[in-house]
Structure 1
Amino acid sequence: MNDQENRRSSIHAFATWEPLLRLLRVENAERLAVPGGRVVGRITRSGWSVPLKQMHNDGVLRVVDVLVKDDISAVTFVMETEATGRTRLHLLIPSRAVELGFGFNPGALVLVEDALPEPWRRLPEPSPRAVSAPSADPALLERTVRGRLPGAVGATEAEIAAAESRLGIPLPEELKALYRVTRAQWADWSGDYEAASRHSEAVRCELFSLEGLYVAEPTTRECPWNHAAMEAVETRPSAAVQGLAGSPGWIAFGDNGGGDRLAVDLTPGPHGHIGQVILISHEEDIGARLLADSLTDLLLDRLATESGGAEPHPPAPTSFAHNQETLGSAVHPGLEALTLNARGGRPVSLTPLVGLPRLRSLAAQPGTLADPVEVAGLTGLEYLELGSQEWGALLDADAVPQGLLAAAVNGPFDEDPVTVAGLANELLALWGRPRITQTVVEGDLGPA
């Protein structure tokens, strides 16, 4: 979209912003009166951060309505105004290659179309010795649920087969037995919330209908690049559940009422059982917790307890360092992701990291690196997060690692969003990715 087309869009019309700008001018008069004074904010379709005492107001809602109408996810704005009322508004609209960040600056820049962080690409390890738990008993499960839910409407074999076809995976016998008793459709309860509650109590979860079943692959567990890239997949030898973001063998069938998913696990860990029931927490990005060795156990309240084991644990694949000494102690061949924070100490050299075979993610806060160009020696990086000055040094030296899949500009909260957007666009341009739209809208609010 060129600049002329942008100006015709209603989000770029001064009239769209005028009510909000008038409020901002009144409540931020001292800040705007200082030479170079600016007011910064961000509005999305679901929330906003603007420097107003009354955050919920018609001026903000007017912009939100336009975002929805124009199918724009978010806009960051920078307002400048003169005493005469002449006002300049810088608008920054992220492209599909830019994730939303915290504060007013962009989040991760996805440099390769549809790229996923390594933990989200990780497939489950085979467990050739895994078998179903001895407690798995589809017939007992079916009798138990029928006794608790007399008169429940069950799914037909054709409906179960259709679900298997849609998912591309056969349903375990216990899960099929459960759905033969109840198809868990809201229509069967005739809008009776108490009946729905009794149903959840009987099956020990908010059971999805067959149409609601899904395979909890990593892509179903949304996580921003800047967090996901710093995670690591770990499965200890004594683990019942593999420490994955998701798996083609996790069939999500219900909710615990708090947003956590229950799933049947067909790709268990070294000490797990095929068909065990796991809990996928909405508060965690990696891994799942064992609930029961089988669906039968879950229905009969025979919950499992995972043993922590006393086996020695290898060095952590993710680490944190704040000086040269702690950086040296973090270095080992299995290191995958490293966060650097100088904490007011001396900047560190990246020399100890050169040659590490698995290092793929580095997040260094501004001022942490003694020589940012040393990043060029870390040839295995797929994610890099640096401050504006560090990125500037890499760009000037033509030393940006070419293997990156994503990057982020890590700056202070009060850093100029326009400058950061310009730097982000330089990085996006190196990969030919759609850039952040930067436009200036001008108008007159009249004397204060």
Structure 2
Amino acid sequence: MTSGEPGFGAIARAMAEALRANAGSASGATLQLRHTGSAISCRAWNNAWANLSVDLLPIAKLLRGRPPSALEVQLAADGSYTFTARPDIATVSPGRLVFDPDFRYPGHPRPGLPRPAGTEPTGAPTDPTVLAEVTRLTSEFAELYAGIKGGPPPWASGLGEADLAAAEARIGVRLPEDLRALYLVADGDMRESGLLGPYCHESLGRLVHNYLDGEPGSCGWDDDPDDDGVVFETPPFGHVKRLSRNDWWVTFGTDLAGNFLLVDLDPAERGRAGQVLEYGRDIYGPPRYVAPSITAMLTDVVEALRAGKYESRYGATVAAETGLREEPRSFDEGISDAADLPATVAGLAGPELVQQVYLNDLGDVDLAVFEPLTSLRSLSVNRAGAVTPAIRGLEALESVQIHASRVELAALAGHPVLWDLQLADSPAPLDLTVLRTLPNLTRLSLEGSAVPDWGPVCALPALRVLKLDMAQVRALLGSGHPLPRLAALFVSGRTTLPEMNALRLAFGEHDAAGTVTELSGALT
């Protein structure tokens, strides 16, 4: 049997030979590869071993120069094998099918957000009042710096108004007036003088590159359908829009340690245009609020130097003692083995700031105990006994994940904003009828749980992402109910490419068969 793209015969045989060399001939075995064009990852198993080691070098040589693809060989004990390949490099164990690549969860906007007032690149000169203030602050910093270090700060030369106008025309955004003024003074501070405290601003050219690299704007975390997806709010609440990314967030600075500064041109109701946020390697969760403006950052640094609150460090840096890196209360909280859960919740510091809770290793629990946490958006219950998810009083809650021996699902009824529900490994049969009362239920995960009736799942009007194990998928397909129109389907555990190809067709992607290559052969 052969179909699809020619030229895979040698690759299929090399995969079968590599598999037999490691799996032996006592039982059947499977080898799956993800070839991205520049790298190869693999997963191999047989009836005796969950993971087999395979020599990929001969296969890699044959794949060199070929386009990305997912490839699989199933080898029988008699040496016969079947081969499947398709260009969807994500379709391997565990299974991942994305039918709508434009789909996003709430708070994860695609590019094209409305333009805020005042962000049009007009080419007008920098506001003279703002320029005068930034010039005053940077001049005072330079004077204080020279008194500490014995020479001027090592800034790059300043730019002209024409340079700013040209850059803004390229990115389609007018920068905040104090950032424009900063570039007129110095086109970058990459030797870290300390002008912006623990941060330095990058060159204007780098700003343009960052903005235009990929989607316009900044950030873009957890935007994939299999990411957690819940967007948490930046404290102080009401200053920053609760979004994973924004066209009007412009990255301009860094701490040279994997963290970055941006100016926010599209603030929330209590914020102000030009406020400064931080994101990056050390910022887990929402962007961190740094300052109301670049001018405010400059003021904090100059006032600290003026008061003698600084450290002269090795190299060019003068480290002012400012509050620019003060950490707010963490947005998440872990609770384990709590003897008195209500007292533990009542004793949390800053309960109004808690947005995510991990509850571990308890017996029976009613989730109404978390009602004092008025900003709670994500709740994960792990290894519990019986769980009663009475969450009507948790009005901000968007995501509930429960791993328990029994779940009283009736308590979920009517929650208005819950869009993510994960019920893993529930041995007691789940009556999912109540899910029809959740108007925004977008993602549902039922892996390993007992589901006697698939009708309620198929009837969910807002359902777009479904996570199941393969036995559940087979039961869903055999239920006779019309299948939900999904943006993505995830299948846990071992899956094969032929199985995933069949699921593509079952869920409505009728052109999928044309992209599949199949062939068979035998080893002597």
Q: Do the two structures share a fold, i.e. TM-score over 0.5? A: yes
Deviation of 1:278 after TM superposition, in Å, equals: 1.1
Change (3 A) 1:27 1:55: closer
Matches within 5 A, 1:261-410: 261-281=260-280, 287-298=286-297, 300=301, 302=322, 303=324, 305=326, 311=352, 312-313=374-375, 315=394, 316-322=397-403, 325-331=407-413, 332-343=415-426, 345-396=427-478, 397-402=480-485, 404=486, 406-410=487-491
Deviation of 1:227 after TM superposition, in Å, equals: 1.5
Change (3 A) 1:422 1:206: farther
Deviation of 1:250 after TM superposition, in Å, equals: 1.0
Of residues 429, 432, 439, the one that matches 2:517 is 439
Deviation of 1:127 after TM superposition, in Å, equals: 11
Matches within 5 A, 1:50-89: 50-51=43-44, 57-65=56-64, 69-72=65-68, 74-83=69-78, 86-89=79-82
State whether residues 120 and 218 of structure 1, in contact with CA within 8 Å, keep that contact through their aligned partners in structure 2. Answer: no
Deviation of 1:389 after TM superposition, in Å, equals: 3.8
Q: Which residue of 2 aligns with 1:190?
A: none
Letter of the structure 2 residue corresponding to residue 341 of structure 1: A
2:505 is paired with a residue whose SS is: helix
Change (3 A) 1:307 1:100: same
Give, in whole Å, the separation in 1 of the partners of 2:15 and 2:495: 22
Q: Which residue of 1 aligns with 2:498?
A: 418
Pair 1:28-2:15 in alignment: no
2:246 is paired with a residue whose SS is: coil
Q: Mean alpha-carbon deviation: is it higher for 332-341 or for 251-260?
A: 251-260
State whether residues 124 and 267 of structure 1, in contact with CA within 8 Å, keep that contact through their aligned partners in structure 2. Answer: no
Q: Which residue of 2 aligns with 1:114?
A: 102
- How many correspondences in the alignment? 401
Q: Which residue of 2 aligns with 1:41?
A: 32
Give, in whole Å, the separation in 1 of the partners of 2:97 and 2:283: 20
Q: Which residue of 1 aligns with 2:90?
A: 100
Deviation of 1:427 after TM superposition, in Å, equals: 1.4
State whether residues 207 and 254 of structure 1, in contact with CA within 8 Å, keep that contact through their aligned partners in structure 2. Answer: yes
2:102 is paired with a residue whose SS is: coil
Give, in whole Å, the separation in 1 of the partners of 2:141 and 2:85: 55
Letter of the structure 2 residue corresponding to residue 77 of structure 1: E
Of Structure 1 and Structure 2, which has the larger fraction of its residues in helix? 1
Q: Mean alpha-carbon deviation: is it higher for 168-177 or for 311-320?
A: 311-320
Give, in whole Å, the separation in 2 of the partners of 1:17 and 1:306: 54
Give, in whole Å, the separation in 2 of the partners of 1:435 and 1:175: 53
| Percentage of matched positions with identical amino acids | 24
Q: Which residue of 2 aligns with 1:143?
A: 139
Of residues 211, 214, 232, the one that matches 1:214 is 211
State whether residues 445 and 468 of structure 2, in contact with CA within 8 Å, keep that contact through their aligned partners in structure 1. Answer: yes
2:444 is paired with a residue whose SS is: strand
Unaligned ranges ≥5, structure 1? 129-133, 185-195
**TM-score (normalizing by structure 1):** 0.75
Give, in whole Å, the separation in 1 of the partners of 2:201 and 2:514: 42
Deviation of 1:334 after TM superposition, in Å, equals: 2.1
1:174 is paired with a residue whose SS is: helix
Change (3 A) 1:270 1:385: same
Deviation of 1:231 after TM superposition, in Å, equals: 2.3
Give, in whole Å, the separation in 1 of the partners of 2:55 and 2:141: 48
State whether residues 388 and 420 of structure 1, in contact with CA within 8 Å, keep that contact through their aligned partners in structure 2. Answer: no
Unaligned ranges ≥5, structure 2? 45-50, 118-129, 144-151, 302-319, 330-349, 353-373, 377-393
Q: Which residue of 2 aligns with 1:189?
A: none
Change (3 A) 1:5 1:108: closer
Please give the per-residue CA displacement for 1:412-443, whole angstroms capped at 9, x wherever unaligned: 2x3444323322332142xx564684333334
Q: Which residue of 1 aligns with 2:11?
A: 16
Change (3 A) 1:305 1:433: farther
2:492 is paired with a residue whose SS is: coil
State whether residues 319 and 330 of structure 1, in contact with CA within 8 Å, keep that contact through their aligned partners in structure 2. Answer: no
Q: Which residue of 2 aligns with 1:192?
A: none
2:473 is paired with a residue whose SS is: helix
Letter of the structure 1 residue corresponding to residue 279 of structure 2: I
